[in-house]
Amino acid sequence: MKAGKRGKVFLVGAGPGDPGLLTLKGLDCLRQADVVVYDRLLDDRILREVHPGAEKIYVGKSAQHHSLEQEEINRLLVKKAQQGKMVVRLKGGDPFVLGRGGEEAQALSEAGVSFEVVPGISAAVAVPAYAGIPVTHRHLASSFAVITGHKAVDHKDSDIAWDKLSTGVDTLVFLMAVENLAYVVDRLLENGRSSATPAAVIADGTSHRQRTVVGRLGDIVSQTRKADIQPPAVLVVGEVVRLREHLRWFDNCPLFGKRVLITRPKHQAGQFSQLLLKCGAVPVEIPVIQIRPSPVPAQLEQAILDLKNYHWVIFTSVNGVDAFFNQLGALDLDARWLHGLRLGAIGPSTARALESRGLRADCVPKKYTTPGLLAQLKQYGMAGSRVLLPRADIAGKQLASGLARMGAEVRDVIAYRTTPDSEGASQAKEMLSAGEIDIITFTSASTVTNLVAAVDKDIEMLNKAVIACIGPETASAAASAGLRVDIAAQKHTLPGLIEAMEQYFQRGEK
């Protein structure tokens, strides 16, 4: 797919909004591009796939402002390709469905520039689908038409055959319809479409901001104005709109549109964000803690060198695993150095961190808490065992004390330390003060401590949001700080926390 010395342009459809709707071929083009020329209304997560060395050029257009006119965009594509570069022209929806991709392809052809079209999923079908409206249905609609609502700006120049369109097609889908909604509706009514025909206007389709107004052709204009719907939006007219009541699946998720504050360290926030996005939530990544190397690295280094004198190494966090193996690597050692040792992990995430290094935990408790881990370890007969605990600088002594009571000889060493993230804390305070957060999530006691400190112990401010904790120890820290704990996950994992949040809102508690 790489362009040769002559360069090549790929007209790539990015889909209507949800970055998950970008095709595999489109993604492949993006990752190989030397230049990406992109529109407005594209999700930033799509642009993250562009390699750092690529040139990114914004050419977005709105009704009031064009950063570049279409002719200038055409010349830009030609110029970059003639420089021998692989150019991706990234367009919302599909390049050839009311996207002016045909004009760009013509300009490239006339200039003798090689090009390829990578179709995208059009908003014409994807946006109604995300609203629970199929554009065709065996019993309701066997045809549909896609029309631009924008063309109606200059009514005299409109070449839409309203007399044929209004009653000649079962389902009508108008893109870019909001600004001229009244004009479009009037033309349909004047040309025979019944005012009782179901209609829907869907704004920001396929995104977490999606809003849908349902009515009839006779009142959809007033309903849309009342709801203050702004572009971009799609108008759907036809009997299939009735099906939304039963087929709605995206914007009725319990967490849809909820702004969820993620307080965990930046390098660990991505997985949580992805899980939340799948539920329609809006993740807000503002870490309030940072993970730093141990202030006494020599202690962990010596403990690793002395591993042959231990029977167990027990990890209580993914960060502990990372810090331990970073030090192991610094000593020019690898997993073979742990030969003959038993390994413990407080939960599945920590166990997976070990598995990623080719090691399987011998002990993973059914309850992912310190008491649960102690109960599970007790079955191994810990009396006389020498145990190494690589831990955080702020970790409690409950695990070490519990093992000592079983007769184990325990050495706990600081493997890493947690420090406040001042920049994140300041941003979190600002958003919370403005009421821009619906749910605050805590995944450790340190995230509780640091967020409370960040807002100058304004507990009342924090309690305006729903407080969700990953497990009992974190919930206990939150309660001790004066927070109202609304949600404490029964399964002490990220999926378990999300499940608990969904159940909370399904019960309609807030």
**Sheet bearing 312-315, strands edge to edge:** 289-293, 409-420, 386-392, 312-315, 342-345
Q: Is the peptide bond before 232 cis (omega within 30 degrees of 0)?
A: yes
Cβ neighbours around 116 below 10 Å, total: 15
Q: Annotated catalytic residue: which of 18, 39, 43, 421?
A: 39
CA neighbor of 102 nearest in space, from 85, 115, 83, 112: 115
**485: its two tokens:** 């704990």
Q: Annotated catalytic residue: which of 61, 367, 464, 491?
A: 61
**DSSP-derived 3-state class of residue 414:** strand
Contacts of residue 328, Cβ cutoff 8 Å, sequence gap at least 6:
304, 334, 335, 337
> Are the C-beta atoms of 366 and 399 separated by less than 8 Å?
no
Query: What DSSP character marks residue 66?
Result: B
**128: its two tokens:** 């109604």
Q: In angstroms, rounded to a whole number, what is the distance separating the alpha carbons of residues 64 and 324?
A: 56
Q: Is 163 a catalytic residue?
A: no
Q: Vertex 444, ends 345 and 319: CA angle to 5°?
A: 45
- Rounded alpha-carbon distances, angstroms, from residue 400 to 134, 350, 385, 412, 420: 59, 18, 13, 7, 25
Q: In angstroms, rounded to a whole number, what is the distance separating the alpha carbons of residues 388 and 40?
A: 54
Q: In angstroms, rounded to a whole number, what is the distance separating the alpha carbons of residues 287 and 264?
A: 5
Cβ neighbours around 340 below 10 Å, total: 8
Kindly write down the DSSP assignment for every residue of 109-165, as one continuous string.
HHTT--EEEE----HHHHHHHHTT--S-BTTTBS-EEEEESGGGGSGGG----HHHH
> Are the C-beta atoms of 118 and 12 separated by less than 8 Å?
yes
Q: Annotated catalytic residue: which of 176, 258, 322, 429?
A: 176
Is the CA virtual torsion 209, 215, 216, 218 positive or negative?
Answer: negative
> Are the C-beta atoms of 307 and 284 separated by less than 8 Å?
no
Looking at residue 497, its amino acid is L
Q: What are phi and psi of 228, to 5 degrees?
A: 55, 50
Q: Is 382 a catalytic residue?
A: no
Q: Is 176 a catalytic residue?
A: yes
**477: its two tokens:** 């820290």
> Are the C-beta atoms of 33 and 88 separated by less than 8 Å?
yes
CA neighbor of 442 nearest in space, from 381, 410, 483: 483
The residues carrying an active-site annotation are: 39, 61, 176
